[in-house]
């Protein structure tokens, strides 16, 4: 059962990465961009559907750390998908967008990030402790939005910020697991650093470029929206 779920999870993850880059490289607002974006969200839903039972199976087997990692990954990717989708759907209703649902999601990301940090440090699992920063920063940036007045093109920044953050989370998860398995043990430290700092550095550069291109000024880089999450 678990092997089947793992295979489906890997297929969905590969499809998600492919559609993420297709949407990112396509002309913004084009039909290809919209189609790839929807495909990415569908792939993320498939990842979530498979991740939940996988986490429960791992928990039943006594692999608490793996179960927590999967559940946390499910939370931050789901959060980014939700905000990316609703930013477009509610772009003419800022107050509705940052309403109760948004505040609850912000609180959940922050609380779970802090809980994961505590668990990772207590169990000396540095991967989990480091990964907690995604939810912590995500929650903090969401709360900052709640307190801000409406800004021009806020919805665009929320959308691409959420998608960038989602890309960071999925790439970190993919690389931190995949590279450690493919490379020799002697290179494990290098793989770990590359898995973390590679996606963050790329997302930071892309976020700054998007902020400048679409005229979003006076705010933190878009990637922090979900690095944040997403």
Each residue's pLDDT tens digit, 84-137: 999 999 999 999 999 999 999 999 999 999 999 999 999 888 778 877 888 898
Inside any domain, residue 203: yes
Could you list the residue range(s) of the whole structural domain that residue 10 is in? Answer: 2-225
pLDDT (mean) for 212-227: 49
Inform me whether the pLDDT recorded for 216 exceeds 70. Answer: no
Inside any domain, residue 150: yes
User: Which residue from 98, 129, 99 is spatially nearest to 116, judged by alpha carbons?
Assistant: 129
Inside any domain, residue 204: yes
Output the average pLDDT for the chain.
81
Each residue's pLDDT tens digit, 168-189: 777 777 776 665 555 555 555 5
Inform me whether the pLDDT recorded for 80 exceeds 70. Answer: yes
Burial class (CB in 10 A: 0-12, 13-18, 19+), 85: middle
Inform me whether the pLDDT recorded for 161 exceeds 70. Answer: yes
Distance CA 175, CA 148 (A): 35
Q: pTM for this structure?
A: 0.77
In this predicted model, which residue has the larger pLDDT, 201 or 16? Answer: 16
Each residue's pLDDT tens digit, 13-45: 888 888 988 987 888 778 898 899 889 889 888
Domain count for the chain, please give it.
Answer: 1
10's CB contacts (< 8 A; 6+ apart) are none
Inside any domain, residue 230: no
DSSP 222: G
Inside any domain, residue 51: yes
Lowest-pLDDT range of 21-25, 75-79, 200-204:
200-204
pLDDT (mean) for 133-151: 88
Residue pair 168/228 in contact (Cβ under 8 Å)? The answer is: yes
Inform me whether the pLDDT recorded for 229 exceeds 50. Answer: no
Quick one: pLDDT at residue 25? Answer: 84
Quick one: pLDDT at residue 188? Answer: 55
DSSP 173: H
Inside any domain, residue 208: yes
Quick one: pLDDT at residue 226? Answer: 41
In this predicted model, which residue has the larger pLDDT, 203 or 164? Answer: 164
């Amino acid at each position: 059962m678990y092997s089947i779920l793992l295979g489906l999870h890997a297929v969905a993850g590969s499809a998600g990465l492919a559609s993420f880059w297709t949407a990112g490289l396509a002309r913004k607002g084009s039909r290809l961009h919209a189609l790839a974006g929807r495909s990415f969200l569908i792939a993320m839903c498939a990842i979530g559907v498979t991740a939940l039972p996988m986490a429960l199976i791992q928990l039943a087997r006594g692999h608490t750390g793996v179960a927590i990692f999967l559940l946390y990954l499910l939370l931050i990717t789901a959060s980014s998908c939700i905000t990316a989708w609703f930013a477009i759907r509610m772009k003419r209703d800022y107050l509705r967008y940052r309403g109760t649902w948004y505040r609850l999601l912000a609180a959940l990301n922050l609380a779970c990030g802090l809980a994961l940090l505590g668990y990772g440090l207590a169990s000396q699992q540095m991967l989990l402790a480091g990964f907690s920063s995604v939810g912590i920063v995500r929650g903090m940036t969401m709360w900052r939005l709640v307190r801000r007045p409406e800004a021009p093109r806020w919805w665009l920044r929320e959308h691409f910020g959420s998608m960038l953050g989602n890309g960071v989370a999925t790439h970190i998860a993919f690389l931190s697991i995949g590279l450690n398995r493919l490379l020799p043990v002697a290179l494990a430290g290098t793989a770990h650093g590359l898995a973390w700092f590679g996606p963050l550095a790329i997302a930071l550069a892309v976020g700054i470029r998007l902020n400048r291109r679409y005229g979003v000024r006076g705010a933190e880089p878009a990637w922090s929206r979900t690095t944040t999450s997403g």
